[in-house]
Chain A
Amino acid sequence: MIRRLLSSENVPLLCTVGVCLALYLAFGTMLDGFFAPQVFVGFFSENAFLGIAAIGMTFVILTGGIDLSVGAIVGCSSIMVATLVAGGMHPLAAGAIAFAFGTALGLAMGAIIHFFEQPPFLVTLAGMFLARGIAFVVADESMSISHPFYDLLYQLDLRIGDVSVPSMTLLYLGLVLLAWGVARCTPFGRTVYAIGGSEQSAVLMGLPVGRTKIGVYALSGACSALAGMAYGVYTFSGNPTAGAMLELDAIAAVVIGGTLLRGGSGSVLGTTAGIAILGIIQTAIMFQGTLSSWWTRIAAGALLLGFIGLQRLAHARTARH
């Protein structure tokens, strides 16, 4: 059992969880009140929309691809929903339209990547320009949302004792479980891992490689659109600049979470631990009070470098065996 737990596949995940715990304990003993349960919930609720976007990114990276359009789709979806709601549409209908847009854009990018054999990096870069451009065309500045449905969503929470878990955090955690199930227990999930391991072998095994690759980008687009809606619930507004550089944070969370950038190994649970690490650092810097928030980025960068080095070592070890 312990041997299985320590198999090379699990080492990056265990490292992430270890770093997560170490940071939590270290900051907890240093800062007053850091161990309060509500603070713990905050690690996830502060970053729920980043987390939702990172779920889609995890699948894309598992196939060995990358999606740079994530942040732009978040911005685009948030401003679309805000504009439609301001025009009198029900938030659910507006959300459905934004969701369809994100999915369709992801689908189109996936199709170009697969059928025309284009690098994902470049195609999703075009998608990023397109989505950001459309966001600015829809409305060129931030727009507030006022609708009873949003008040309801904002106040809706799960109470455990005197700890409250906001609705968007519940949505995020629910999506994590769902995504974990999809990755582990469905043919789609297994094909994703197979493509990341070796696309050529996956083709030779007769797996539906094309459909899965396109599906992964559509999934990422859909997650980003959902993340845009979650952003709306948090801020009661839509903003065409929302989610700028979010794709970087999402990639960072995925890598810190132990998913290999060349694909084939990693998990959504790891990404969630990565999100928690980012949340812990942010919260600790907020608690500490004197450090500027820019240290968050520097700390995230340093962690990223550390985990990349770790991946490098793990790869060198497996290559030698």
Chain B
Amino acid sequence: MMTALTLVIEFLACLGYGALALRLLGLHRAFTPAMHVSFAFAVGLGVLGWLLFPMGILGLFQDAWLWSALLFGAVSTPLLRDSLRNWQAVPLDTWGWCLATLIAVVLFFDFAEALMPPTDADSLAYHFNAPRRFLETGGIFHILRPLDGAIPYLIQMSYIPVLSLGGEQAMTLWCMLSGWMATVLLYALSREHLSVNYALTVALLFLSAPAVVYGAGTGQIEIRMTLFALVAAWATARSLQTNRMAFTVLAGMMVGFYIGAKYIGLLFAVACGLIVLLRKNWFRHGTVFTLVGILVGAQWYAWNAVHTGDPFFPVFFSFFGHDDLVLWNREHHRYFQENFMEIDRPLARTLLNYFLYPFIVTLDAPAATEARKVGLGPFGLLLLPFALIGLWRFRQNVIRHPLAIYAAVAFLFYTLWFMSGPSQRVRHLVPIYPFLLLCFAVAANRWAKPVYLQRPLYAALVVTILLQMGGVTLFGVKYVRAMAQKEDHNTYLAKNLSSYGPIPWVNANLSAGDHLFHSERQLNYYLDVSNFFGSANTQAAVDLESRGKDPYVLLQQLRSIGATHILTPLTRWEIWRGGKDWSACFMPLQHVKAKRIGSRTLPSTSTNQVTFVLHQLLPKTCQAKAGIGKMVSPSTAAHR
């Protein structure tokens, strides 16, 4: 009951905050009913995430305050009543019903996924874990970890009220719902340029794209950033067409939300900003756009700057970084840059690769791009000739078409992302994928009017839909199966979450005063005890690389971050130990078997058994044996 209530109230809160913002900007009459509702949700999601930051800083993550934040937004929902009243149901023909049925199938699989405990590694490492830990402390604290710790959390802020007030199920259902709203918004936007059936096709192609299926039901933020990207590009286009400042302000707000959601939002802001400048009074609009974007998006960057010195931690750490951080120093920063930053960029940044990247990741993707299983599907490839010929055929009118602005924003973002982005993972392009879908669909549809052209076009669309629906079924079948078999929480997680094995024992046997060090990031969320995740790249305090370690040094390093216990794979522990007796410093408490799962969807490709060993640190006997005068005392500041 509370799960559903929280979900509805947060949904209404987003609609209300967005409707209020659009009313204050005087833009409430600028939309069709469907656009008004979906745009209000997108704006409201950003506003809610933005408001929760100061609340978190002030330590107001308690139920009463969270209810207040939601109800304050929800009371503005009536501002949408005219649009809701005027929203007319569209009659569907046979094809329309077929497409609607397929969309319903995808939604059903999404629903089944949302009912199961989360198992996505990134979500458990930080998207869901950070909100959980913020709630435990009643407010936001800084997580000094690169890439998945010290990052912007604007979207994850929206997980906090649902998690606190409705529990985990409400949070996973919220991810499902907010992901669906991106598709609703895309459909509403598509209707400006396409018929009902084509708009439904675009919606289905987006909803069933592998990268969307992979991330939409998890805590991953790309699909939710799509909401910001679509509204930002739409507002940028309207700003250019009408020269109205309110549209420029809306565009600035939306890129600000994008910036607040992820570092690469800055690239999107630059792409939109360059387009905003293409007018006579460019300075006025450019200044307003920039100031609004900074005001909205700067929260988490300022937070990073205060705690590390580097607003984009760890990108500029060598220039601005603090010298007194336990977990990060300049030497480790150099090691991190040399060993890690290049891993996610398998293709050299050359002009040739810039043009070939979309083809390479579609047909023969390097593993680091994850595009083979988490790609964008064959739509772009199969419809390329239709879109190019359509573009050439209507080249006289293209420059004045609103879609040209979407295409320009997407093109500029892709260029900036490829040339300067930290990662070449295809799923980072999900927020601009709707622009490609929309532009290709419109160009192909306009050009391929004769029957002899329509046939191959329809064939390409049908084949893409069938392939993607196959992917949806493959991905979703395990959730439906688990739902049908009514698997309990632990059985399901043991089957589907890599290295879950030690969790039940650790949660049952470690107490409130203990602090566990471990190197399995996907376990962060499910650990009920105080814990610290560390790998060789993510922290400088504990050396996890060298073989034949000195137990006293390892124990001192672990104590420096406040650890009382350490959980490692047995094989790694034995390599560290090098056959020596470490019993004076570490006492083995438990050996636990677990499954390492490389792929949740295709577990037979890479699943193996691993044994974990949990040790308790023995500082007193270790100190006596080593003859060291004074051990490092646990640093509570480094607990997180």
Decide if A and B are genuine partners. no
A interface with B by C-beta (< 8 Å)? none
B interface with A by C-beta (< 8 Å)? none
